[in-house]
Structure 1
Amino acid sequence: MFLLDYKKLNEYRSEALDSLVPVIDPHQYSYPSIFIYGHRASGKSHVMHVLMKELELSHATVSCVECVSIALLFEQVLLSFFGCDAASLLPRSPSLSDFVRVYRQQCSQSPAKQTRYIVSAVEDNVTVILLSEIAWDKFRPNTGCFEPLLLHFPDYSKSELQQILSQNVHPSYSAGFYSAYINILLGVFYSVCRDLRELRHLAALNFSKFCEPLAEGKETDTHKLWKHIEPHLKKAMQTVYLREVSSLQWEQMQQMEEEEAGALRGLSAHTHVELPYYSKFLLIAAYLASYNPARTDKRFFLKHHGKIRKTNFLKKNEKTSNHLLGPKPFPLDRLLAIFYSVVDSRVAPTASIFSQISSLVTLQLLAQVSHDDQLDAPKYKCAVSLDFICAIARTVNFDIVKYLYDFL
């Protein structure tokens, strides 16, 4: 066996390490597979990375998210163990047999003096270590398989999160003051969020607001500070896990609400909002659906529609600009139809698209106007100005004016 300094790893994961270290002995035949699981930001990847480094274990770290093909997976393993010459021996579309053949060939030239840790299965002294946020039961095949050694990383407790987050003390304030702030933050968010990364983001996001009432550097009036920050933190709970709202943008939102006192809602008045790529096209589609008559969709969004003049569309009661009348509600299916027409790449209707629509509603860029019980046909209205949508459209090189009925 070998000695290991736990402080170099993660002092809060000592219980998990007590179970893990005995089965990782590079000079003995190790357990064939180890499955480590736990929620996000519970120390799995960090502990394994430092453990492999501190013990100087021969290992290949492969991300199954980055390796989008089996060829990339095989190449990464061979590259880590034997260098680029070995990786170049793989054919263009390698099979598992090709990988095993190359691996055996390299093993004969460079025999393993200790256990190699890789993410794969070959006839060698190897241990497969799998890191996942999902329990093993979700992966177990119906045909049966060799059961891995299961090791669970539990969530950090509230006291552990308090100690970890308090280490990021602001240089302008005392450690005790920042620890008191973290205690207040966890008192609000711990019941809904245990993610260390998200809590660290929230701590950095709201600390400046927490410090606003301080006068002459006094840090003792925690009751006054709590009263000041409490409504701000409760409002920030709406953005937990919603990283589409950056730190700068969140501060701009709060400043806008304070200065205009409800005259303008949400982000409609902002000219610099950083949205995901497809959210921008969803917002563009929503604006077109709000300000274009539904019967003009064919003219704007269908190919080979023929030449249609605006006078053919006009009715007696349509002499007023749609922009003067304001946005009109539209159904979800019309929004998606326009979105798939204007976006410049093929997009499958996934849950991500629908979640981005919900995010636009949360950011008050879209307004849902149908009742909650109308789940089958929700309706929305776009809540942004023409200048705002033009600024958004420019970021994706989309000339929105060409698609607006009022500007024909």
Structure 2
Amino acid sequence: MTALLQHPGYDEERLKGVAEKLPCREVQAEMLLSLMGQPHQYSYPSILIYGHRASGKSHVMHVLMKELELPHATVSCVECVSIALLFEQVLLSFFGCDAPSLLPRSPSLSDFVRVYRQQCSQSPAKQTRYIVMEKAELLRDTDASLLSALLRLQELVGDNVTVILLSEIAWDKFRPNTGCFEPLLLHFPDYSKSELQQILSQNVHSSYSAGFYSAYINILLGVFYSVCRDLRELRHLAALNFSKFCEPLAEGKVKETDTHKLWKHIEPHLKKAMQTVYLREVSSLQWEQMQQMEEKEAGALRGLSAHTHVELPYYSKFLLIAAYLASYNPARTDKRFFLKVKEYNNNTFFMFSHTSNHLLGPKPFPLDRLLAIFYSVVDSRVAPTASIFSQISSLVTLQLLAQVSHDDQLDAPKYKCAVSLDFICAISRTVNFDIVKYLYDFL
């Protein structure tokens, strides 16, 4: 792999160190070095590196700049909330702490170019300077002239400087409508399954062999690769579940070579983790605490996923409870469960043999029935405000409720509850509401 990074002007030992720190990205690093040229030569004014999230763009640039000791300024477009911060960070990286003080209070692009030219005349570049712009797609939301100026900054300041833009979107969706200097394009493809296996297997735990950890990564990718190819998320999942994978080994029940038994042990835990991919609703420490709680308590929380523990506003919980009751109780039973008139005669309610509504699935219900049940079960007087209706919309957005009628219909909208019995029981416990007493199937 080291031969791919042979380039005139750079020490071979340093290039070898770069190759060791860039597994599965040697081809992209070689292409980037060929675009950058030798250190003392003028480089192309601007380069756009694009690819999906966690495809190695920032890591490759960081390793190249650090290992080859190239003069550079790394600017995060997320952190630089104003153009002034961007200008100050570039001048600080290239010319020291005194240069940013030369800018006026609210600097314009011409002020930045003027100060850069002044400092460049005092400290001319002996090799190419690089400005690395991370999350560069955010530049589209700034002044329209800023992106165009950065793409031809080398011409404006008269210095050997190259602007490298790192973005998750392609240039066709990036290019300004007013036209600009076209940068060189370099695409970073997603990691393949074998490449992810190679990269993740490098994080070997000190207490176990490399082959054992590689087998664990192979099992992990077999479960998650079809739904997640983000290297950072997969690394998080690998660290999160490795202790659970090693439990039978630590207890002496199996050997490292008993892959099938280890797989049977970890399978239910990976299925739970599948429900929270990308969500990060809980931290690694919280996840471990929840797993320990499930093991100690053989009660109601056993079998629930981390998604069950998502926090909702107080009234949203009662709205969800009301929606579940409306979905699984026949409408004719509402008077029996929710009428608060003492004179109501319970003898008028008759039980009939029926098929379980939980087997038939949730039934749609109108908005007015949802609100009637909500105001009946909530333990305080609540005025029908816009906040209540906005929380219903939020439950639909979270896919806890499903709207089954179209918005353009003249009738009131209809909904269905989209959560399980275990989920709604867990939500009910947080507000001390015994939902089972109000379900027709459990009378």
Tell me, yes or no, whether TM beats 0.5: yes
Task: Give secondary structure in 2 for the equivalent of 1:146.
Answer: coil
- For residues 237 and 166 of structure 1, the distance between their equivalents in structure 2, rounded to whole angstroms, comes to 20
TM-score, normalisation: structure 2:
0.59
- Between structure 1 and structure 2, the one with the greater Rg is 2
Q: What is residue 437 of structure 2 aligned with on the other side?
A: 402
Contact 2:272 2:305 in 1 (8 A): no
After TM superposition, the structure 1 stretch with the greater mean CA deviation from structure 2, 372-381 or 188-197, is 372-381
Please report how far the alpha carbon of residue 214 of structure 1 lies from its aligned counterpart in structure 2 after TM superposition. 2.4
Identity %, equivalent residues: 93
- For residues 201 and 394 of structure 2, the distance between their equivalents in structure 1, rounded to whole angstroms, comes to 31
Contact 1:249 1:273 in 2 (8 A): no
Please report how far the alpha carbon of residue 78 of structure 1 lies from its aligned counterpart in structure 2 after TM superposition. 0.8
- For residues 398 and 263 of structure 1, the distance between their equivalents in structure 2, rounded to whole angstroms, comes to 15
Q: What is residue 5 of structure 1 aligned with on the other side?
A: none
- For residues 139 and 113 of structure 1, the distance between their equivalents in structure 2, rounded to whole angstroms, comes to 32
CA gap of 1:212–1:140, structure 2 versus 1, over 3 A, is same
CA gap of 1:11–1:356, structure 2 versus 1, over 3 A, is farther
Contact 1:330 1:381 in 2 (8 A): yes
Contact 2:304 2:423 in 1 (8 A): no
Contact 1:12 1:160 in 2 (8 A): no
- CA deviations 1:329-353 (Å, max 9, x no partner) are 9999999999999999999999999
Please report how far the alpha carbon of residue 249 of structure 1 lies from its aligned counterpart in structure 2 after TM superposition. 2.2
Q: Is 1:20–2:35 an aligned residue pair?
A: yes
Equivalent residue for 2:74, pick from 31, 44, 61: 61
CA gap of 1:337–1:243, structure 2 versus 1, over 3 A, is farther
Root-mean-square deviation (CA), in Å? 8.8
Task: Give secondary structure in 1 for the equivalent of 2:302.
Answer: coil
- CA deviations 1:173-214 (Å, max 9, x no partner) are 111111100000011111111111111100011111112222
Contact 1:34 1:129 in 2 (8 A): yes
Contact 1:198 1:241 in 2 (8 A): yes
Task: Give secondary structure in 1 for the equivalent of 2:47.
Answer: strand
CA gap of 1:359–1:13, structure 2 versus 1, over 3 A, is farther
TM-score, normalisation: structure 1:
0.64
Q: What is residue 147 of structure 1 aligned with on the other side?
A: 182
- For residues 379 and 36 of structure 2, the distance between their equivalents in structure 1, rounded to whole angstroms, comes to 51
Structure 1 unmatched runs, 5+ = 1-9
CA gap of 1:257–1:399, structure 2 versus 1, over 3 A, is closer
Task: Give secondary structure in 2 for the equivalent of 1:151.
Answer: strand
Contact 2:367 2:415 in 1 (8 A): yes
After TM superposition, the structure 1 stretch with the greater mean CA deviation from structure 2, 273-282 or 98-107, is 273-282
Aligned residues: 392
- CA deviations 1:250-292 (Å, max 9, x no partner) are 2333444455456247889999999999999999999999999
Please report how far the alpha carbon of residue 54 of structure 1 lies from its aligned counterpart in structure 2 after TM superposition. 2.6
Task: Give secondary structure in 1 for the equivalent of 2:102.
Answer: coil
Contact 1:365 1:383 in 2 (8 A): yes
CA gap of 1:181–1:69, structure 2 versus 1, over 3 A, is same
- CA deviations 1:62-89 (Å, max 9, x no partner) are 1111000001011111111111211001
Contact 1:210 1:225 in 2 (8 A): yes
Please report how far the alpha carbon of residue 164 of structure 1 lies from its aligned counterpart in structure 2 after TM superposition. 1.2
Contact 1:253 1:267 in 2 (8 A): no
CA gap of 1:371–1:240, structure 2 versus 1, over 3 A, is farther
Q: What is residue 295 of structure 2 aligned with on the other side?
A: 258
Contact 1:366 1:382 in 2 (8 A): yes
After TM superposition, the structure 1 stretch with the greater mean CA deviation from structure 2, 35-44 or 381-390, is 381-390
After TM superposition, the structure 1 stretch with the greater mean CA deviation from structure 2, 68-77 or 171-180, is 171-180
Runs of 4+ in structure 1 over 6 Å off? 265-303, 307-408
- For residues 14 and 357 of structure 1, the distance between their equivalents in structure 2, rounded to whole angstroms, comes to 50
Please report how far the alpha carbon of residue 111 of structure 1 lies from its aligned counterpart in structure 2 after TM superposition. 1.7
Contact 1:266 1:365 in 2 (8 A): no
Equivalent residue for 1:183, pick from 208, 218, 226: 218
Task: Give secondary structure in 2 for the equivalent of 1:170.
Answer: coil
Task: Give secondary structure in 2 for the equivalent of 1:364.
Answer: coil
Contact 2:324 2:424 in 1 (8 A): yes
- For residues 98 and 368 of structure 1, the distance between their equivalents in structure 2, rounded to whole angstroms, comes to 54
Q: Is 1:134–2:147 an aligned residue pair?
A: no
